[in-house]
């Protein structure tokens, strides 16, 4: 597999084991940062244009009743919004305990990544002036909408709605990529794809309820992957540096 051989080109010379923290190549990080920069440019365009977001949300909005009919849907609220997130959190906790029990550094790191992405999104969301669609005047509320990076109007409403917090829980599953690479590349890529799909599905459920715009979820995935990527880079660099120091000290 050509992709596997390129991504497996590590900056380290130690023999990799499934329980160790793997150091990816500079090429791997460069490719990912370039892709993130391209996606950021596209997401900024869609977020500032707002037409796609409004069109998607209008499809799920009833202008006669001035509300989102799916807002209080039991399936979307209980299964998608609560149970799905709780299952992911439980899986991450179990992985953490398993890593501690077996002293598997990689499992403990991946468990950390599960919580880190949503934490970053939650911090950004808590300081956001963007209100949710169901709070906006165009969807039966009172708040005013404004484009990303635009000036905040006086009637911007309660805010706290950007990026999509719930979608970040689904995107957190992308962390499993770092659990299975490089020993199981297909499984790792499948986990990455599953995380993206799960994040989009969980986030779209919130779009149907009027809780988020579609672009909010795209940004959630962007921030989660950036947080996971930089964390792996920092920790693997420190671990590799420590290994080299110990090896040189034993010579």
Residue of higher predicted confidence among 249 and 128: 128
* DSSP designation for 16: P
For residue 104, the domain's CATH number is 1.20.144
Residue 108 lies in a domain: yes
Q: Is residue 82 part of a domain?
A: yes
Render pLDDT for 177-223 as a digit per residue (tens, 0 to 9). Answer: 999 998 999 999 999 999 999 999 999 999 999 999 999 999 999 99
Residue 40 maps to a domain: no
Task: Encode pLDDT of 39-68 as tens digits.
Answer: 999 999 999 988 999 999 999 999 999 999
Burial of 229 (0-12, 13-18, 19+ CB in 10 A): buried
Residue 27 maps to a domain: no
145 part of a folded domain: yes
Q: How many domains does the chain have?
A: 1
Task: Flag whether 219 is in a domain.
Answer: yes
The predicted pLDDT at position 81 comes to 82
List b or e across 94-124, with b for residues whose CB sees 16 or more CB atoms inside 10 angstroms.
Answer: ebbeebeeeebebbbbbbbbbbbbbebbeeb
The string of pLDDT tens digits covering residues 14-41 is 344 556 888 899 999 999 999 999 999 9
**Residue 22, in any domain of the structure:** no
**Which domain covers residue 114, as residue numbers?**
51-237
């Amino acid at each position: 597999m050509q992709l596997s051989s390129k991504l497996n080109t590590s900056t380290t010379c130690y023999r990799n084991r499934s329980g160790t923290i793997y150091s990816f190549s500079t090429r791997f990080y460069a490719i990912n940062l370039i892709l993130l920069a391209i996606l950021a440019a596209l997401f900024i365009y869609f977020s500032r244009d707002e037409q796609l977001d409004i069109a998607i949300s209008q499809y799920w909005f009833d202008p006669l009743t001035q509300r989102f009919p799916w807002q209080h849907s039991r399936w979307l609220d209980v299964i998608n919004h609560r149970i799905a997130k709780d299952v992911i959190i439980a899986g991450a906790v179990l992985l953490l305990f398993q890593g501690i029990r077996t002293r598997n550094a990689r499992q403990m790191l991946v468990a950390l990544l599960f919580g880190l992405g949503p934490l970053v999104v939650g911090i950004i969301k808590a300081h956001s002036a963007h209100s949710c669609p169901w709070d906006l005047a165009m969807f039966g509320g009172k708040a005013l909408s404004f484009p990303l990076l635009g000036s905040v109007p006086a009637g911007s409403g309660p805010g706290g709605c950007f990026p999509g917090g719930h979608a970040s829980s689904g995107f957190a599953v992308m962390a499993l990529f770092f659990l299975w690479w490089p020993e199981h590349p297909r499984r790792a890529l499948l986990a990455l794809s599953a995380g993206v799909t799960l994040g989009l599905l969980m986030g779209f459920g919130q779009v149907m309820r009027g809780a988020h715009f579609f672009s909010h979820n795209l940004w959630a995935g962007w921030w989660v992957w950036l947080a996971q990527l930089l964390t792996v880079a920092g920790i693997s660099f420190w671990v590799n540096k420590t290994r080299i120091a110990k090896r040189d000290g034993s010579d």
